[in-house]
Amino acid sequence: MSFSTFFVKSYGCQMNIYDSQKIISILENKGMKQNEYAEDADLIVFNTCNIRDKAAHKLYSDIGRINKFKKEKTIAVVGCVAQAENVEMFNKNKSIDIILGPQSYHLLPQMIEDIKRNPKQINTEFIVNEKFDYLTEQKRKQGISSYITIQEGCDKFCSFCVVPYTRGPEYSRPLKSLIHEINSLAENGAKEIVLLGQNVNAYSHSHNGRKINLADLIEEISKNENIKRIRYTTSHPINMTDDLINLHSTNKKLMPFLHLPVQSGSSEVLKKMNRKYDINFYIKIIEKLKTINPQIEISSDFIIGYPGESEQDFKKTLDLVDQIKFTQSYSFIYSSRPGTKSSFENDETPPNIKKERLFILQEKLKEIQLKFNKSFCGKNIDVLIENQSISNPEYFFGRTPFMQSVYIKSQEIKPGEVKNVNISTCNHKNLYASC
């Protein structure tokens, strides 16, 4: 079989979407062409996520769907489900040809070659620095807002999470190669850099005999005049060092918006989750941030219905939301992942109670988000323009410093500009303006 076209589908978090961009670059650099539809592609790549049970189920149903309409094809399953389920995937679904863990995407072209001789290919080793060395050399297709992975893996072992098993231990990329890559993104038009990592604020690397942390890295990136905005995600509360907190006051390119997952408002649940902090510790971080920069807004992640979560625990989560007023958040019902510590715990809360709690929480979060968005109506705010609508070129899309999506009707703005616009209307998800 010859491989001239490919299709990539991404599941899960921003890191996976970023990894998919890398996979696309790798395959394009080998002369292959990306197709919008799986049915037109020789190679179908599923970049998987194993954080929730639902994403893994979705993968197998997608493979089943493709099998119905396409006989001649090669299916590669890459990412965290590939890492976790490993060779077992070949038994679960015979049409899978390639299994590739998240540290080895750069080996994909070689595996496509090898498949002509050996029809089942697998690589799930942790060779993280080799991956980054290779990917740095790749040509990038990135936008005004460009994502860059600076850190991978996790040593925290939260009791519900598979990441330490699928992505391996914490690893930080060298400063020199990051600055080189970021400068080249800026030369190609990037105005905003979003630093990514499973524990991005655990970033730590030795450079010329000195330990560089995330605050140092952000300061270094800020020296590039073309970069107007810097963000980082996802952070762990225990890695919010004082110098990183203070940077939210002193570094004007660092946006006043922080995604800081809390997971629960109950210290008892946090302990069971092995989050390594209690709720007072979390609240103190937010207080410090708001003291040094009263403008700062916080978003978070919540897990509802963790085994043993009582009505009282859930109430504490609602109280925390009332206190912090998170302006954006992700919330999910707890999903047991095989092999994790929590998968062995008794989970007695009925599914309907969990659903009800999630609904109550999400309604509260939505209400706060809407109120926050409404506070901008009739006011001016800086928006970094990211792109122009293809279907309706009168409209542009951009983001405020607080990550709100803004749709702007205009004849005169260009992607890459930071435009001060007057917000006319909003809903809980978006702001709208014209200029």
| Contacts (CB under 6 A) with ligand SF4, residues 190-209 | 198-199
Least distance CB 156 / ligand SF4 (angstroms)? 4
Least distance CB 52 / ligand SF4 (angstroms)? 12
236 binds ligand SF4 (CB under 6 A): yes
Q: At what angle do helices 128-136 and 14-29 cross, to 10 degrees?
A: 60
The DSSP line for 211-243 is EEEHHHHHHHHHT-TT--EEEEE---GGG--HH
Of 161, 240, 258, 433, the one binding ligand SF4 (CB under 6 A) is: 161
Dihedral sign of CA atoms 135, 169, 193, 375 in order? positive
157 binds ligand SF4 (CB under 6 A): yes
276 binds ligand SF4 (CB under 6 A): no
8 binds ligand SF4 (CB under 6 A): no
Residues for the chain: how many in total? 435
What three-state secondary structure class fits 112?
helix
341 binds ligand SF4 (CB under 6 A): no
Of 44, 82, 148, 158, the one binding ligand SF4 (CB under 6 A) is: 158
Name residue 426's beta-bridge partners.
Answer: 431
Q: Which is nearer to ligand SF4, 14 or 145 (CB)?
A: 14
Cis peptide leading into 234, omega within 30 of 0? yes
The count of chain residues that interact with ligand SF4, using the rule CB under 6 A, is 10
Q: How many helices (H) and strands (E) does the chain have?
A: 14, 21
Of the candidates 237, 406, 250, the residue with the CA atom closest to the CA atom of residue 324:
237
163 binds ligand SF4 (CB under 6 A): yes
Q: Which is nearer to ligand SF4, 161 or 279 (CB)?
A: 161
Least distance CB 24 / ligand SF4 (angstroms)? 25
Whose tokens are 């809903």? That residue is: 427
- Classify the phi-psi angles of 340: left when phi > 0, otherwise alpha if psi is within -120 to 50, otherwise beta: beta
83 binds ligand SF4 (CB under 6 A): no
164 binds ligand SF4 (CB under 6 A): yes
Which stretches of the chain bind ligand SF4, using CB under 6 A? 154, 156-158, 161, 163-164, 198-199, 236
